[in-house]
């Protein structure tokens, strides 16, 4: 998560090896989608 929201900042983040980019202000739907993308699924007992 970053306050750097310009498209150049996004490109620099990916060039530095980041896997994704989430800029402020945070959109809650986008945040949840990213969390679901990277967090493991819940294991059923």
The answer to whether 30 and 5 have CB atoms below 8 angstroms apart is no
pLDDT digits (tens, 9 = 90+) for 2-39: 566 788 888 888 899 988 888 888 899 999 999 988 88
Per-domain residue ranges for the chain?
7-38
Residue 21: per-residue pLDDT: 86
Residue 2: per-residue pLDDT: 58
Global pTM? 0.59
| pLDDT score of 1 more than 60 | no
Inter-CA distances, 18 with 15, 41, 45, Å: 7, 22, 34
Residue 42: per-residue pLDDT: 73
CA distance linking residue 1 with residue 30, whole number of Å: 12
Range 37-45 average pLDDT: 76
The answer to whether 22 and 30 have CB atoms below 8 angstroms apart is yes
Contacts of 42 (CB under 8 A, 6+ apart): none
């Amino acid at each position: 998560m970053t306050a750097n929201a310009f498209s150049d900042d996004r490109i620099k983040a990916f060039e530095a090896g980041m896997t994704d980019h989430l800029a402020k202000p945070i959109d809650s739907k986008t945040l949840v989608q990213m969390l679901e993308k990277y967090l493991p699924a819940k294991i059923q007992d």
